């Protein structure tokens, strides 16, 4: 390790947003739970045994976290043996379609953000600033269609050379995490090979994407006590806060 806790040869840092840079992962989890629990209660008695069990933290980690919104809906419903029509992107929130449920989740998320605001992790901001000062290239890679609004609201939009989010991914038809395509697109736009890029993620799907893309280094950020799972899914190292990476260099 020579620079900011990263191996030699790393020229770019690709940061996930929710749970890595900003404290929005818990807000996403709450919005998913409220939406799915309401949907499951309305379906009570319609599905096979166990399909109406409330949405919980394990469901969030395994089926939803880090994935594009519609993929999260499909993956969780499949885990309960529930099939719904796809619908379309302009379905009303709560319509019993994949997109309708996804739109309801986003409606709840935005209401929670408007009420409570968005906060960044101070350690992540210090690390991001250090990365910039070290002349490493930077990208934010998020499945969220609200990514630009969030990074603007916390004043860090100018700290990224590239943004690949849910909007950009849809425009380019990039599959979301756990596929590596969004991270690979960020590295490409930065002019850096995957082997010269480090991925920073808190989601298991993000770890899978980092491993599948053969990136030079994958940092798992453990905000919820899932360090072992992050390692199993491909993390080269796990920290509770990005500031630990800079501190490890200072101690060296």
Catalytic annotation, residues: 16, 18
Round to whole Å and give the CA distance between 220 and 162.
Answer: 21
């Amino acid at each position: 390790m020579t620079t900011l806790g990263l191996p030699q040869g790393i020229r770019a840092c690709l940061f996930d947003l929710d749970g890595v840079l900003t404290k929005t992962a818990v807000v996403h989890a709450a919005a998913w739970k409220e939406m799915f629990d309401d949907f499951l209660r309305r379906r009570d008695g319609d599905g096979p045994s166990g399909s109406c069990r409330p949405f919980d933290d394990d469901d969030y980690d395994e089926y939803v976290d880090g994935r594009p919104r519609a993929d999260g809906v499909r993956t969780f419903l499949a885990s309960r043996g529930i099939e719904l029509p796809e619908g379309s992107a302009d379905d009303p929130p709560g319509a019993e379609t994949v997109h309708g449920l996804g739109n309801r989740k986003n409606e709840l998320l935005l209401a929670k953000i408007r009420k409570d605001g968005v906060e960044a992790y101070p350690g992540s901001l210090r690390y991001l600033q250090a990365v910039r000062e070290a002349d490493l290239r930077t990208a934010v890679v998020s499945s969220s269609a609200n990514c630009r609004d969030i990074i603007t609201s916390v004043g860090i939009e100018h700290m990224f050379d590239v943004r690949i989010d849910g909007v950009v991914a849809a425009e380019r038809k990039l599959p979301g995490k756990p596929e590596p395509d969004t991270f690979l697109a960020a590295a490409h736009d930065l002019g850096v090979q995957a082997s010269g890029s480090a991925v920073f993620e808190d989601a298991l799907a993000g770890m899978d994407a980092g491993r599948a893309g053969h990136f030079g280094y994958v940092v798992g950020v453990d905000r919820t006590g899932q360090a072992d799972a992050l390692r199993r899914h491909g993390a080269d190292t796990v920290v509770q806060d990005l500031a630990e990476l800079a501190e490890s260099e200072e101690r060296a």
